[in-house]
Structure 1
Amino acid sequence: MSSIDARDVPADTTSTERLAAAGLEYRVVDLTDDASAVAFQRAVDRGFLGAEPSSEMLAQVTKTFAARRNIGVFEKSAAEAALPVATTNAWATPLTLPGGGEIDMWAISVVTVAATHRRRGIARALLEGELRAAASAGVAVAGLTVTEATIYGRYGFGSAVPVARLTVDTRRAGWGGETSPGRLEYVDRETLAADLGAVHERARRRTAGQIPGWRGRWEGYAGVAPTADRDQARGVRYLDEDGALRGVMAYTVSEANGTLRFRLDVRLLVAETTEARAALWRFALQHDLVDEVVADLRPLDDPLPWLVADSRGVKQEVHDHGWLRILDLPAALTARRYSAPLDTVLRVEDSLGFANGDWRVRIDESGDATVEVAEDGDPADIVLDVSALSSLYAGGVRAASLHAAGRISGDAAAVEALDRALVAFPVPSLDIWY
Structure 2
Amino acid sequence: MSESHRTVHPVDPTSQQRLQKVGLEYRLIDTTSDADLDGFQRADARGFHDQEPTGEALAQSRETTRERRNLGVFDATAGRLPIATVNSWVTSLTVPGGELDMWAISSVTVASTHRRRGIARALLEGELRAASAAGVPMVGLTVSEATIYGRYGFSSAVPVARMTIDTARAGWAAAPVAGRLLYTDREELADQLARLHDVSRGARAGQIPGWRGRWLRLAGLGVDDKDGAAVRGIRYLDADGTVQGVMAYTLSEIPGQFRFELRIRTIVTATDEALRAIWQFVISHDLVTRATVDLRPVDDPLPWLVADQRAVGVEVHDHGWLRILDVVASLTARTYQRPLDVVLAVDDPLGFASGRWRMRVGADGRAQVESTDDAADVTLGVAELSAIFAGGVRASSLAAAGRVQAESHVIDALTAAFAADRAPVLSIWY
Runs of 4+ off more than 3 Å: 1-5, 76-79
Q: Does residue 354 of the first structure (1) align with residue 352 of the second (2)?
A: yes
CA distance in 1: counterparts of 2:315 and 2:5, whole angstroms: 37
Q: In the alignment, which residue of structure 1 is the partner of 2:216?
A: 219
Q: In the alignment, which of 282, 303, 315 is matched to residue 280 of structure 2? A: 282
Q: In the alignment, which residue of structure 2 is the partner of 1:252?
A: 250
Q: Give, in angstroms, the shift of residue 88 of structure 1.
A: 0.6
CA distance in 1: counterparts of 2:171 and 2:198, whole angstroms: 31
Q: In the alignment, which residue of structure 1 is the partner of 2:154?
A: 157
| Preserved CA contact (<8 Å) 1:5 1:91 | no
Q: In the alignment, which residue of structure 2 is the partner of 1:265?
A: 263
Q: Give, in angstroms, the shift of residue 291 of structure 1.
A: 0.5
CA distance in 2: counterparts of 1:312 and 1:4, whole angstroms: 52
In terms of mean alpha carbon deviation, does 1-10 or 413-422 score higher?
Answer: 1-10
Q: Does residue 52 of the first structure (1) align with residue 48 of the second (2)?
A: no
Q: Give, in angstroms, the shift of residue 4 of structure 1.
A: 7.6
CA distance in 2: counterparts of 1:254 and 1:173, whole angstroms: 20
* CA displacement 1:396-419 (0-9 Å, x = unmatched): 100000000011011101111111
Question: What is the identity percentage for the equivalent residue pairs of Structure 1 and Structure 2?
Answer: 58
Q: In the alignment, which residue of structure 2 is the partner of 1:116?
A: 113
Structure 1: state its 5+ residue gaps.
none
Q: In the alignment, which residue of structure 2 is the partner of 1:239?
A: 237
Q: Does residue 188 of the first structure (1) align with residue 185 of the second (2)?
A: yes
Q: In the alignment, which of 418, 425, 429 is matched to residue 422 of structure 1? A: 418
Q: In the alignment, which of 407, 410, 413 is matched to residue 411 of structure 1? A: 407
Q: In the alignment, which residue of structure 2 is the partner of 1:138?
A: 135
CA distance in 2: counterparts of 1:359 and 1:217, whole angstroms: 39
Q: Give, in angstroms, the shift of residue 31 of structure 1.
A: 2.8
Q: In the alignment, which residue of structure 1 is the partner of 2:13?
A: 13
The code of the aligned residue for 1:13 comes to P
* CA displacement 1:95-120 (0-9 Å, x = unmatched): 00012x10110000010000000010
SS in 2 for 1:335: coil
Q: In the alignment, which residue of structure 2 is the partner of 1:70?
A: 70
Which residues of 2 match residues 270-419 of structure 1 at below 5 A? 270-375=268-373, 378-419=374-415
Q: Give, in angstroms, the shift of residue 76 of structure 1.
A: 3.8
Q: Give, in angstroms, the shift of residue 232 of structure 1.
A: 1.0
The code of the aligned residue for 1:311 comes to Q
* CA displacement 1:187-220 (0-9 Å, x = unmatched): 1110000000000111001110000111001000
- Provide the TM-score with structure 2 as the length reference: 0.98
| Preserved CA contact (<8 Å) 1:2 1:104 | no
SS in 1 for 2:352: coil
CA distance in 2: counterparts of 1:238 and 1:211, whole angstroms: 23
The code of the aligned residue for 1:387 comes to A
| Preserved CA contact (<8 Å) 1:140 1:329 | yes
| Preserved CA contact (<8 Å) 1:345 1:381 | yes
Q: Give, in angstroms, the shift of residue 5 of structure 1.
A: 4.5
Q: Give, in angstroms, the shift of residue 379 of structure 1.
A: 1.2
Task: Count how many residue pairs are aligned between Structure 1 and Structure 2.
Answer: 429
Q: Give, in angstroms, the shift of residue 3 of structure 1.
A: 6.6
| Preserved CA contact (<8 Å) 1:74 1:84 | yes
Do the aligned partners of residues 162 and 2 (structure 1) sit closer, same or farther apart at CA in structure 2, a change above 3 Å counting?
Answer: farther
Q: In the alignment, which residue of structure 1 is the partner of 2:90?
A: 92
Q: In the alignment, which residue of structure 1 is the partner of 2:163?
A: 166
Q: In the alignment, which residue of structure 1 is the partner of 2:102?
A: 105
Q: Give, in angstroms, the shift of residue 32 of structure 1.
A: 2.1
The code of the aligned residue for 1:51 comes to Q
The code of the aligned residue for 1:30 comes to D
